[in-house]
Amino acid sequence: MPKVKRFVKTTANKPKLLKTTDNRINPNIRELKKKKVASKNDNPQVRELPRKSAALFLQYNEHLGPPYHVILDTNFINFSIKNKLDIVKSMTDCLYAKCVPYITDCVLGELEKMGTKFKLALRIHDLKD
């Protein structure tokens, strides 16, 4: 089998930069750009937005409400096992509503890669189904 050729960085592959002594650079344009940047930094604009009432939160987001669909990640599952918490019961106690936990395929893959230490998490997932 042939060896893989490495990509060699040469001067042809590098981006070309103009020198400050190049004839194509107009010094007047540079001075104008510097003045624009300086004028923008001198007077920063302060904008004040009207505050929204916290009571209207669910009124605007009507899709946020029970039953809550919760995606579980590896850290959440591991900490619930370490603290000996039932995942579904703890979520309902926290959110005061019915919760539907979801575990993605990538999280299951991570739990499988962690080995025997986290077999309990896989068993919990099997019991849920």
- Does the domain at 63-128 match CATH 1.20.58.340? Answer given as no
Rounded CA separation 100/102 (Å): 7
Model confidence at 93, pLDDT cuts 50, 70, 90, reads very high
Output 80 or 23, whichever has higher pLDDT: 80
pLDDT for the residue 61 = 63
Question: For the segment 42-90, what is each residue's pLDDT rounded down to a tens digit?
Answer: 666 778 888 877 776 666 666 678 888 899 998 888 888 889 888 889 9
CA dist 128 → 22, 31, 81, 113 (Å) = 70, 68, 15, 20
Please give the Cα distance from 77 to 18 (Å, whole number): 55
Percent of the chain as helix, strand, coil, to the nearest 5: 50, 10, 45
